Every structure is written in structure tokens, then in C-alpha cells.
Amino acid sequence: MTTIRYTKLTGTGNEFILIDARQQQATSQPRWTRLATTLCDRRANIGADGLLVLGRSPRADVRMRIFNPDGSEPSMCGNGVRCVAAYAAAHGLGTRLTIQTNAGVRRATILPGHRVRVDMGVPRVLDHLPGLRAGGRAFARVDVIDSGVPHLVCWMNDLRRVPVQSLGHALRSHRRFQPAGTNVDFIRVPSLGAITQTRGVWKVQMAMRTYERGVEAETHACGTGAVAAAASVAYKIVSGRQDARRSTARFEIDVDVPGGQLRVELSARYNPRRRQMICGQAFLEGEVRQMTQGTVPWNGHRHR
């Protein structure tokens, strides 16, 4: 039996258990998949949306691995990166740092007011699926977005009435997205005509609820989901408004989620001949706070 130290953090309502394994030898580390399924169980243990493992990296200041409550390991987690950055900065790595993920190296900046901004890479709009059917209904506007992990962005009129658990599961398990499945974001956006520019920046306030693959439930926030939703909104603006096509459009999009608010900044240019949008770097910003810390006993199963 051994004892594992942990820190629990929240990134705008997205809760994570973080284990700092930088000083551990690989042979002495736990089996992370099993540890994730055990510790993230909200009914029987600490409870969280994921397990973050902080390690050493030859390419960046630190390495982050994330494990979902079902034991799967996604390539990227936006709010997880922000939590790792906040923890690393509090432990002496400075206010500007690099984090190696399975989706590449991400740059993070610690801002005043417990806020963290992170480079999320370049999101890609992969497909549009109007009329997609699942859970007994058809969706008028659905976009498939890669924001480091797969997301299905569904435009809705009223988020309060969306049965996120059942409908999210139906879409996550849709045959079109098998075998891996997808994350599902339900969004509500103001009418296109109500969105205006301020000093050359398109500013949008929208709302989002997310069903996360691997958590298999609705979460209070999702960073990669916010980036995917922002890319979907940017596509609608640059493809639907002539005044957004004159040059590269810049966006500042505030995403209201059950846990608070996330901000996404990105740029995009539209090619009307190909009906294609090319995005620039996306940046995700939001609050991070430490919730608690402690130790848990573990029976010594080895690293996987």
C-alpha cells in the first residue's frame, strides 16, 4: 500500500484531480487508467471530470496527460491544460510556460484574477451535417469540429429544454462517429444580424452545454468544446455576412457555461469558392482555482 498526494482544481467548473509525478520513476507510478476510474467516481471517491498527471518533458516545461473517468486518455483538454498551468506556476515555473500534451505543445500565460490563457492550436471545421437525426429529432444546423479532440456542435433555440444526458449520449454514440464517438456541444447564439464589430473585432456572447465523451455525462464546462463552438460561430459569420469576408476576421467570443464563462479568441478567413474557413490560432481563457488537496491510499498497481 502506498500514499498518493493530489490537488483538486476547477477550471470554470470543470473539476480535475491533479497528481504531480515529476519526481517519480516510471516503475513506481500507479496504473493511471485504473486510478482515474477509481478517484473520479463521484459516488464512491473524490469525484472529478478527469485525472491530470503532471510529468517531466524534454520538449516543454512540463508534460500533461489526462485520463477520463472511464479510463480513456484523450489527446487534449483545454481546461485541463489551464489547471496544469495554474498548478505549475504556483510551484515555481513562472507565469509563462509551455505544456506538452498528446496534441502538441501548448503555451500558457497566468493572468491576474486567477485567470489562465492558453494557446489551443488551430481548430478545423471538418463537416456540416444539416438534418442529422438522433434521439428522435432532426437538427437543422450541426457542425463537426476538430479542436484537439472531436466535437459535434448543435445549434439550439432553447438550451434550458435540451435533455443533455439522453440526447448527448445518442449523438455521442451515433453510427456516423464510431468507433471513437464524439463530444457533443449544444449552443445558443444571437441572431446573425445582432452581432456587430467593435474596433475590427467581432464580439459574440453565446451559451453552451456539453456532453463529454469519456465522462459520459454533462460537465459544467469544456475548453475544447468552447473552442469548437467558437469556430462554428465564426464559420456562420464569415460565410453569412459579406462584411466579414473582406479580410481576415477576428473574433472575441464569450461562452457562458453552467460553471461560469470562458473566452475564446481566434481569427478566420473564408474562401467562398470552396465554402471553406481557415482558422488561425485559438486562445482559451478562464478562471482556475484550487479546491482542495490531500492524500489517498493506493494498492500499488503499476503504471500503464
- Cβ atoms 43, 35 nearer than 8 A: no
- Of 40, 83, 154, 222, the active-site residue reads 222
How far apart, in Å, are the Cα atoms of 103 and each of 63, 159, 283? Answer: 11, 30, 15
CA distance 182 to 168: 10
- Cβ atoms 163, 247 nearer than 8 A: no
Compute the Cα dihedral for 259, 186, 124, 48 and give only its sign: positive
Has 279 been annotated as catalytic?
Answer: no
CA distance 102 to 52: 13
Q: In Å, how far from its chain's centre is CA 276?
A: 23
Cell of 264: 475564446
Cell of 97: 510556460
What per-residue string of b and e applies to 15-53 under the rule 16 or more CB within 10 Å gives b? bbbbbbbeebeeeebbbbbbbbbbbbeeeeebebbbbbb
- Of 40, 77, 83, 154, the active-site residue reads 77
- Cβ atoms 256, 292 nearer than 8 A: no
For 136, counting Cβ atoms within 10 Å of its Cβ (0-12 exposed, 13-18 middle, 19+ buried), the class is: exposed
Asked, as a colleague might, if the bond just before 272 is cis with ω within 30 of 0, I would say: no
Catalytic positions are 77, 222
